[in-house]
Chains A and B, each alone.
Chain A
Amino acid sequence: MTASAQDVAGDLADVRIGVVTFPGSLDDGDAARAVRLAGGSPVALWHGTHDLEAVDAVILPGGFSYGDYLRAGAIASFSPIMREIIDAATRGLPVLGICNGFQVLCEAGLLPGALTRNAHLHFRNRDQCLRIEARTAWTGDFEPGAEIVVPVKNGEGRYVAGAEVLAAVEAEGRVLARYVGANPNGSSRDIAGVTDSTGRIVGLMPHPEHAVEALTGPSTDGLGFFTSILASILGARAVSTG
């Protein structure tokens, strides 16, 4: 490794990405692995505390927090750590919600719309082609319009929102990603993920953290979400110190 490459690796490792574990979170280990493979430092955050441990960004992972009781993501959105995350997110902390994490973000009111039962009523797991549309803190490393393949697996992944909300999301370029080919769950306008207006709070139904190694994933396309956020945070640091 050259001196400058070592510097970059060292800088990346200084980026702390929190991964929250709620009761019933399942893909928290996978999200942490993805952060590590991208070069960053994953930090485990516990739902029951108010401590964000000075992380630079947060991932709300997939799973069945609180068994999906009441509504998927509904109970988790009221947990102590979410109080802090909602507060920090409104002040600029980047947050990625994957699958159940996306549901939590919608329940918490940080993202518009809701995720409902798949149109065909089955849990569905398949390798899914997505088109990345919005340029955000979590998607900066993708070419605009890039098509990627990552797993989608959910029972309640059908994105819905009122007509005005959908129109606004489209008009403001806040569709993060869209399903290409067969829509796996009946989501409105094939929407797989959305972003807030700042491009820092992002929700995605499919699972990029399961597409980070050729050995275990359908591709390594998912790694782009994790390298993107590391680059975005390092870039922001360079600006603020420069």
Chain B
Amino acid sequence: MKIDTVEAAGRTPDQEQPHAALGLRGDEYQRIRDILDRRPTSAELAMYSVMWSEHCSYKSSKVHLRPFGDLPSSERLMVGIGENAGVVDIGDGYAVTFKAESHNHPSYVEPYQGAATGVGGIVRDILTMGARPLAVMDPLRFGPPEAADTARVLPGVVAGVGGYGNCLGLPNIGGELVFDGCYAGNPLVNVLCVGVMRHEDIKLARAPGPGNAVIIFGSRTGPDGIGGASILASETFEDQKPTKRPSVQVGDPFTEKLLIECCLEIFAADLVVGIQDFGAAGLSCATTELASAGTGGMHVVLDEVPLRDQTMTCEEILMSESQERMCAIVEPDKVDGFLAICAKWEVRAAVIGTVNDSGRLTVEWRGEQIVDVPPRTVAHDGPVYERPLSRPDDQDALQADTPDRLSRPSSADELRDTLLGLIAHPNLADKTWVTEQYDSYVRGNTVLSQPEDAGVLRIDEQTHRGIALSTDGNGRYGRLDPYVGAQLAEAEAYRNVAVTGATPIAITDCLNFGSPEEPGVMWQFAESIRGIADACRELGLPVTGGNVSFYNQTGDVAIHPTPVIGVLGVLDDVRLRLRQGLGRAAGEQIALLGTTRAEFGGSQWAGIMHGHLGGLPPTADLAAEARLAGVLAQAAARQWLTAAHDVSDGGLAATLTESVLRYGVGAQISLPGDRFVALFSESAGRALVAGTAYGLAALEVACTEARVPVTRIGTVGGDELAIDGVTPIPLADLRTAWTDALPRLFGAATPP
């Protein structure tokens, strides 16, 4: 077998290389030749091609992400954008790290493994920061609910998220389930993980200290996720081994669970100076990132990497995306201790190299030098594009096509039927079919999980300090106005955290878009970023990190711009959290906070009842959101309220449905103004609250001071949802409509 060595590359400058098949443009290939002052070896070409891909280099998005870096500094932010995940201070010496990542394309190809390895990857990012992973969340988006392909993809994705997360012992505390035609063929599988550590335990991905050992530990390296390397193998080598390999990786959550416990024990014993997980681009990524963030040099002996398949070529080993692997930098006198802990947890570990100060990453294989590169040029000096962008030609027509022309219900029966029709649609219906496949209880610190507005975790059993998390996105709003749509996504996640009584302190983002090569998509992307950055400035929240997923499109049809925003909040005392259900206290009265306008552009009513998407999305009034959040935090701390629930998709109708069905206690509601607008408008900045007469009176005083509109709309009790001017709905009928939707589509909820 011929090995393409550094020496050979210098000797044969004119040898043709398959750079285009590896996704490198001619000018990118030339740049590699200029950097190395020779042609790259095939191993080097493999490394540059994966590291300079859109996925790893952010080459199309980089210039647009700058506004996040320009945000004012935050005292809470301990580690910002650029590391595996951002870290924020939540008080009492605790630091929380959280991040969301997409696994959209693999989940379409192989739903179970695509989703499972999506969980695995983001959990390793959190672990890499030095944190114990605490919980996951899964914002999911699929094509039309009744489409055959949705029936193929959704059950597998849900089983994969559950199968992996449950086996790791991480509670799933929330997420989203959205159906829209734009996601047919392009489902969005985003996963968020959150972890906690003490301030002094934060770890970084860097390789300092010449002489320190480079250790790979976890699963063996196999030929998964190396579609690109197969091209090299087939062109470079004469042997006839199969080159078509599955490109979706297969997850092993059991190994990852051992890896988590093993890492935490290693961290506690202070045995590493740097750590990185293997994600996309595997060894190529981990070694070049660690080296360029450390002393600057590293020598790796590739023969030491434990392999699952002994026929793998060196290019394949460098590109493999095998799951459940980590890379640690360990001082020589701590190597034995490190390996002993790995042995205790039955985790395979091997010393594969040494840190040096050469400024080069060198890799040897079968006694030959196959890589000799400045690591920074691979990891950080990839191409940066200023892609052309332009507002889509159809944007004006789309915004001009307002929902005003759509027929609206007006009689009491029509309003009832509209309400029942909406809440029975899978976008608004009960999500239990999905969420009961997830463990929400494990670790015993889950205070709130789905269907509540945000997941709430206890962090400290003595002090009762806790955190709240929500993820939200709305592609329909984004399609109508990507700037406002992104702000509304952030506002909703912020509000969902606030209605638990928590104080929002930071965000992360998962940006799902079509092809960056389309000027219209790039415009949506740039507008969304601008919207998020402006919202963060107004709400005083730092962006801790994020993820960009491009090419979510089929042919020339892109998904709606779908930035998903995760907001983290802090609760000083989780025992005082607010919940969405009515009926936990006697004599509860109900009020609506915020301003309701006739806003139906992009609404669930327009979409579900009329198949319509047009006009403008609701107003994003971030100052009003901040005032609302302030009042809710005060109300929770003073224990004025017995319930609080966000108003968003589906308007007050959906909010009321969820609040009365939570504990099966009805309500009598009287709404001011146009009943249709009051029930189905999706004006942002609103929340439904309940409390005793005393509690609501105190709240009203606080609302007046804070300039938050407050309207009394009813009382709690009875066994129906009775709204003035709407035919009363018995709770049993309401529940049937709400709970039957998903089981009817995806299978019975009860065993035969």
Contacts and interface: CB of A to CB of B under 8 A. Distances in A.
Contacts of B440: 125
Interface stretch (B19-27, B251-259, B639-647, B710-718): B251-259
B443 interface: yes
A26 B169 contact: yes
Interface in B421-451: 435-447
Contact of A215 (B253, B257, B345, B447): B447
B437 A123 contact: yes
A29 B444 contact: yes
B242 interface: no
Given A24-B258, A29-B444, A125-B440, A120 B167 contact: no
Interface residues of B, number: 37
B751 to A, nearest CB: 4
A101 B752 CA distance: 26
B525 to A, nearest CB: 37
B575 interface: yes
25 contacts: A23-B257, A23-B346, A24-B167, A24-B258, A26-B169, A26-B257, A26-B443, A29-B444, A48-B344, A64-B166, A67-B254, A68-B167, A120-B748, A122-B437, A123-B162, A124-B436, A124-B437, A125-B435, A125-B438, A151-B441, A153-B442, A207-B441, A216-B441, A216-B444, A216-B446
B175 to A, nearest CB: 14
Interface in A158-196: 182-186
B446 A24 contact: no
Contact of A125 (B167, B441, B444, B574): B441
A23 B443 contact: no
B258 A153 contact: no
A71 interface: no
Given A123-B163, A215-B458, A215-B575, A24 B442 contact: no
Nearest to A186: B751
User: Which among B252, B437, B575 has the greatest number of chain A C-beta atoms within 10 A?
Assistant: B437
Given A23-B258, A123-B162, A216-B446, A118 B751 contact: yes
Interface of A: 23-24, 26-27, 29-30, 33, 48, 62-64, 66-69, 118-120, 122-126, 151, 153, 155, 182-186, 207, 209-210, 212-213, 215-217
Interface in B139-195: 159, 162-163, 166-169
Nearest to A210: B441
A33 to B, nearest CB: 6
Contacts of A122: 159, 436-437
Interface string B718-752: 00000000000000000000000000000110111
A119 B254 contact: no
A63 B169 contact: yes
A29 B443 CA distance: 7
Given A120-B748, A122-B437, A182-B750, A27 B445 contact: no
A24 B436 contact: no
Contacts of A23: 254, 257-258, 345-346
A183 B168 CA distance: 26
User: Which among B159, B438, B444, B445 has the greatest number of chain A C-beta atoms within 10 A?
Assistant: B444
Given A67-B252, A209-B444, A183 B751 contact: yes
Contact of B254 (A24, A29, A62): A24
B751 A119 contact: yes
Contacts of A216: 441, 444-447, 458
Contacts of A153: 166, 439, 441-442
A11 to B, nearest CB: 24
Interface in B229-259: 252-255, 257-258
A48 B446 CA distance: 30
Nearest to A65: B254
Contact of A120 (B441, B443, B458, B751): B751
Interface of B: 159, 162-163, 166-169, 252-255, 257-258, 344-346, 435-447, 458, 574-575, 747-748, 750-752
A64 B167 contact: yes
A45 B168 CA distance: 20
Contacts of A186: 751-752
A66 B254 contact: yes
Nearest to A187: B751
A69 B254 CA distance: 9
A16 to B, nearest CB: 21
B166 A123 contact: yes
Contact of A126 (B159, B255, B436, B748): B436
Contacts of B159: 122-123
A124 B575 CA distance: 27
A185 B752 CA distance: 9
B436 A26 contact: no
A29 to B, nearest CB: 7
Contacts of B438: 123, 125
User: Which among A66, A69, A118, A210 has the greatest number of chain B C-beta atoms within 10 A?
Assistant: A210
B751 A185 contact: yes
Given A120-B752, A122-B436, A209-B444, 12 more contacts: A24-B258, A27-B442, A30-B443, A64-B166, A66-B254, A67-B254, A122-B159, A122-B437, A123-B166, A123-B439, A125-B440, A155-B166
A23 B438 CA distance: 21
Contacts of A67: 167, 252-255, 257
Nearest to B347: A23
Given A64-B254, A69-B254, A123-B162, A217 B441 contact: yes
Given A23-B345, A63-B169, A125 B458 contact: no
A118 B254 CA distance: 20
A30 B751 contact: no
Contacts of A125: 435-441
A126 B433 CA distance: 11
A120 B747 CA distance: 9
Contacts of B258: 23-24
A46 B446 CA distance: 26
Given A69-B254, A124-B436, A207-B441, A119 B458 contact: no
A66 B258 CA distance: 10
Nearest to B433: A122
A119 B750 CA distance: 9
Nearest to B444: A30
Contacts of B439: 123, 125, 153
Nearest to A184: B751
A182 B743 CA distance: 16
